[in-house]
Amino acid sequence: MAESLQQIKKRIKTANSIAQISKAMEMIAASKIKKAQNAVEKNRPYAERVKYIVQKILAENNENSLTSYFLEVKKKNINSKLVYVISPDKGLCGGLLANIFKQVSNNVSKQDYVVAIGKKAQVFCIKNGYNVIASFNMGTLFPKYADIFPMLKIIQEFYRDKKVSSVEVIYTYFKNRLVQEPTAKILAPIQKDENFINKGDHIFEPSSSEVFKSLIPYYFEVIFYDILMNAYASEQAARMASMSNAKENANEISSSLTMVYNKSRQEKITNEILDLANGQIKNAI
């Protein structure tokens, strides 16, 4: 019984340690998610406005009058596409990674070119035989705007030179702290939104085609940075929820083991008292 009690005590100590570690990681994620959520919510209207201007120009102009290779229809014999896969560098974020990799399996073929952003995406894509042409770390800090430029260079190289038919991004869209949606988004070619509603009249100077030409590079910067911020915020929200569940489970295990330990200890003491009482009775007789 003494050995059994010692084992239970070790298990209680282990459960308490896991609960403390999980609580610390939950607090770290909670401190990061606040900043990330504020940044995403503040940037989202700006990104939507940039997309609105692009769609407005597309709606008001014939595509032939707009000069940009991001509007060109690629040749039918080009079957490959360029896919960015964005994931965390680390795990312990619940089902977020599994959902991202499910999107990759459904949307990416072995002939596509893959850019892995995040160590987990890199390991998954290489392990499963995808054509990884470049990789970047996601990092543990909030992404900087300057981080996106080497990533976007690959789009110009592969899409402008007609090596791929389209450019896609697979990432996790941050809806709120409880909901993060795995998403596959097409970046290029830029297509007209059939549901676009034109609100108000705008005057473009010197012309809408010139504005469109100068706006396109900035359009990709804004959209891609918004995607990176969503991915980062989703990671922190998923990790916070995962660590909260781990902490609660560890505390439940600790409480359950403590009850077993106390019950076993009480039985041991009772048995020792009974043995002592029986010995005294025999000596008296």
The DSSP annotation for the chain comes to -HHHHHHHHHHHHHHHHHHHHHHHHHHHHHHHHHHHHHHHHHHHHHHHHHHHHHHHHHHHS-GGGS--TTSPPPPTT----EEEEE--SS--STTHHHHHHHHHHHH--TTSEEEEESHHHHHHHHHTT-EEEEEE---SSPPPGGGHHHHHHHHHHHHHTTS-S-EEEEEEEE-SSS-EEEEEEEEES----TT----S----SS-HHHHHHHHHHHHHHHHHHHHHHHHHHHHHHHHHHHHHHHHHHHHHHHHHHHHHHHHHHHHHHHHHHHHHHHHHHHHH-
**How many distinct structural domains can be found in the chain?**
2
Do residues 214 and 266 share a domain? no
* pLDDT score of 264: 79
* pLDDT score of 1: 47
Output Rg (C-alpha) for the chain, integer angstroms.
29
Do residues 56 and 176 share a domain? yes
Do residues 162 and 57 share a domain? yes
Do residues 200 and 271 share a domain? no
Do residues 120 and 223 share a domain? yes
* 52 domain residue, yes or no: yes
As a whole number of Å, the end-to-end CA separation of the chain is: 30
* pLDDT score of 254: 83
* 34 domain residue, yes or no: no
* 260 domain residue, yes or no: yes
* pLDDT score of 85: 93
Do residues 196 and 67 share a domain? yes
172 φ, ψ to 5°? -110, 120
Asked if residue 156 lies in contact with residue 221, where contact means CB atoms within 8 angstroms, the answer is: no
Asked if residue 57 lies in contact with residue 108, where contact means CB atoms within 8 angstroms, the answer is: no
Do residues 50 and 106 share a domain? yes
* 277 domain residue, yes or no: yes
* 27 domain residue, yes or no: no
**Residue given tokens 């599994």 in the structure block:** 98
Q: Is 196 left (phi over 0), alpha (psi -120 to 50) or beta?
A: beta
Do residues 278 and 266 share a domain? yes
* pLDDT score of 18: 86
Q: Is residue 71 classed exposed, middle or buried when 0-12, 13-18 and 19+ CB atoms within 10 A define those classes?
A: middle
Do residues 129 and 157 share a domain? yes
CATH classification of the domain holding 133: 3.40.1380.10
* 26 domain residue, yes or no: no
* pLDDT score of 68: 66
Range of the domain at 167: 40-242
Do residues 156 and 272 share a domain? no
Do residues 174 and 275 share a domain? no
Q: What is the pTM of this model?
A: 0.80
Do residues 51 and 75 share a domain? yes
* pLDDT score of 73: 59
Mean pLDDT by 10 residues, the chain (285 residues): 72 85 84 84 85 79 65 66 90 86 89 91 91 88 87 84 85 86 86 70 74 81 90 88 84 84 79 69 61
